[in-house]
Amino acid sequence: MAANEHKNLSDINRHNPKGFETATNDTILTKDSGTSPTGTDGNLVWADRSAIKTTTHEMIGYSVGNGSTYEYRQGVADAQSPFEMNANFGSATIGTQTINSINLFRTPTYVSVDDCKLKKITGWFTSSTSSDMSIAICKVTPVTDTTSAFTPVALDIITSSTAGGNSLVQSFQEITFDVSDVAQGDLIFPMVLTTDASQQIYFTLTLEFGYDN
């Protein structure tokens, strides 16, 4: 009988874990929280690998908006880089305008280390006025040995009509996105839009990316 104990079985005679046959690819067997995160009554579940294998990236910036178009970060040679966002995108709508490759490569961007999905954005901001404002998290996909301008794609646009006052902190958290897929090598960066030409925006946020690889 002892020879038939599970620990003594050869690999070919061991069964797969519960739910293996119906679990989708790129999932991991784990235990849910049950009735309490400190309890023991959780059930076995197959969770997306990207929900467990994650990385985070922080973005901090400020902008004195021009009241009409998005602005992105200054080049690294600027004394206020990487925080000041004063380069004019030229449009209030993402997807209708391009950024010259040489301009974007001179700004600080986050480079995705692998194919992944944007899972969550959490952050804070202040605004000097109560005017509408938007913080856009964008991506572009460079192509080797080309000089073509980039057309940014908005992963998410965080909008608010704030109460005003630079000391009045506002929070936000985003878990659903216009676009969540990010490819290896994509450049990720923020842009800011204000409806008031004197509006000062300060923000700090963290992006969470999930990986299947």
Question: How does pLDDT run across 62-109, given as a tens digit for each residue?
Answer: 999 899 999 999 888 888 888 899 999 999 999 989 999 988 889 999
**Fold assignment, 54-210:** Jelly Rolls (2.60.120)
Per-residue buried b or exposed e for 73-112, using 16+ beta carbons within 10 Å of the residue's own CB: bbeeeeeeebebbbbebeeeebeebbbebebbebbebbeb
14 confidence band (pLDDT: 50, 70, 90): low
Query: Is residue 137 a contact partner of residue 162, using CB atoms and an 8 Å limit?
Result: no
Q: What is the DSSP-derived secondary structure letter of residue 204? A: E
Judge whether residue 172 has pLDDT over 90.
Answer: yes
Three-state DSSP class for residue 173: strand
Segments of 38-152 assigned E as strands: 44-48, 54-64, 71-73, 85-88, 110-111, 116-127, 132-140
Average pLDDT, the chain: 86
Looking at residue 176, its pLDDT comes to 94
- In three-state secondary structure terms, 9 is coil
Interatomic CA distance for residues 7 and 162, integer angstroms: 62
Question: With a threshold of 0.85, does the pTM exceed it?
Answer: no
Tokens of 186: 């994509």
CATH 2.60.120 positions along the chain are 54-210
| Confidence at residue 36, expressed as pLDDT on a 0 to 100 scale | 79
Cα dihedral value 82, 88, 92, 96, nearest 10: -100
pLDDT score, position 4: 64
